[in-house]
Amino acid sequence: MSSSIPAITRDRFDAVLFDLDGVLTQTAKIHAACWKEMFDDYLKERSGRLAEPFRPFDIVTDYKLHVDGKPRVDGVRDFLASREIELPEGETDDPPGEETVRGLGNRKNELVSAAIATRGVEAFAGSVDLVRRLRASGIRTAVVSSSHNCEPVLRAAGIVDLFELWVDGQVAARLELAGKPAPDTFLEAARQLGVEPKRCVVAEDAISGVQAGRAGAFGLVIGVHREGDPEALKNNGADVVVEDLNEVPTARV
C-alpha cells in the first residue's frame, strides 16, 4: 500500500461518494461496448445513406474523451459534435434508434439493459472491501452516477445495502442537475447526506468525474485507473490515482 495515499479517517472525512461503472461494478466495459455498437450502427447507416466515409467509434479514444462518465444524452451530443454531426434533440420517449440525440441515447440504454440482463453484474472485490471498512469506521457512503440503471445494477451486484443513497441519472433529470463534469450531482449527494464537500471524498474512474470532483472543491478526489492513462486522471483533478480501491487506507477498527 502506498504511503502517498492519504487515509480516509473520521477526523478528516464524513463521507465517500463513489461513481458506479468502473469504480464499484465491472460494467464500464459493457457501457463502452454498447456505445460502440450503437454509434457504429448509426454511422454505418448514415454513411450509406449520405455517401459519407464510415469512421467507426473508437472504444478507447472516443469513449474516454466524449462519453465516459457523462449523462447519456450529453455523451451522444458530444460525440456527434466531435464528428461535426448535428441532430435534433428529440423527446425523452423517442423510439430507440430514432435519428435524434435522445433516440440514439435510448438505443444505447436498450443495449445496456439487455447486456446486464444477459451477463449479470460483478462488483470489484477491492471496492467492496473499502466500502465495508469505511462503514465499519463510521464513514458514510453514497453512489453518484450518470447511469439511469443505478439501483438495478447495485441490486444485481448484491451491494445495494452498502450505500445510504444514490444520485443517478434519474435523480439528476428530476432535479434538473447538470451532469459531470459539472459538480452538481456530487454536491447534491453531499447535500442529502448533510455533509460539507470539503469533508467528502470522491472516487472516480472517468476524466469527467475527477473534473467534477475538483470543480466541487471536495476534500479528496481519488482517481481509479484499471487500464489506460493514470496521468490523464491526475492532470484533470485527481489528488491521487490508484489501480484498485483496496489500496486506500482507512482507520483500523
Q: Which pLDDT score is estimated for 252?
A: 67
Evaluate if pTM is beyond 0.85. no
19 catalytic? Reply is: yes
Q: What is the secondary structure of 36-65 as a DSSP string?
A: HHHHHHHHHHHHHHHTPPP-PPPTTHHIII
- What's residue 117's pLDDT? 84
Contact 107, 114 (CB under 8 A): no
Cα 230 to Cα 215: distance, rounded to the nearest angstrom: 19
Domain positions in the chain are 15-27+122-247, 29-119
Exactly one of 19, 74, 168, 239 is catalytic; which is it? Answer: 19
Helices (DSSP H) in 137-206: which residue ranges? Answer: 150-157, 169-175, 184-193
Strand partners, 184: none
pLDDT for the residue 3: 42
Query: What is the spatial distance between Cα 14 and Cα 135, in angstroms, rounded to a whole number?
Result: 10
CA distance 207 to 241: 12
**Coil/strand/helix, residue 25:** strand
Kindly name the residue from 11, 14, 21, 78 that is annotated as catalytic.
Answer: 21
Task: Give pLDDT, residue 1.
Answer: 37
Q: In whole angstroms, give the CA distance from residue 22 to residue 207.
A: 12
Is 11 catalytic? The answer is: no
Q: What is 15-27+122-247's CATH topology?
A: Rossmann fold (3.40.50)
CA distances from 225 to 28, 169, 204, 210, 247 (A): 12, 23, 9, 11, 12
pLDDT tens profile 10-35: 999 999 999 999 999 988 888 899 99
Per DSSP (E only), the strands in the chain are 15-18, 140-144, 165-167, 200-204, 220-224, 240-242
Low-confidence ranges of the chain (pLDDT < 50): 1-3
Half-sphere exposure of 21 (CA within 13 A, CB side): 24
In whole angstroms, give the CA distance from residue 115 to residue 172: 24
* Number of residues in the chain: 253
Each residue's pLDDT tens digit, 97-111: 999 999 999 999 999
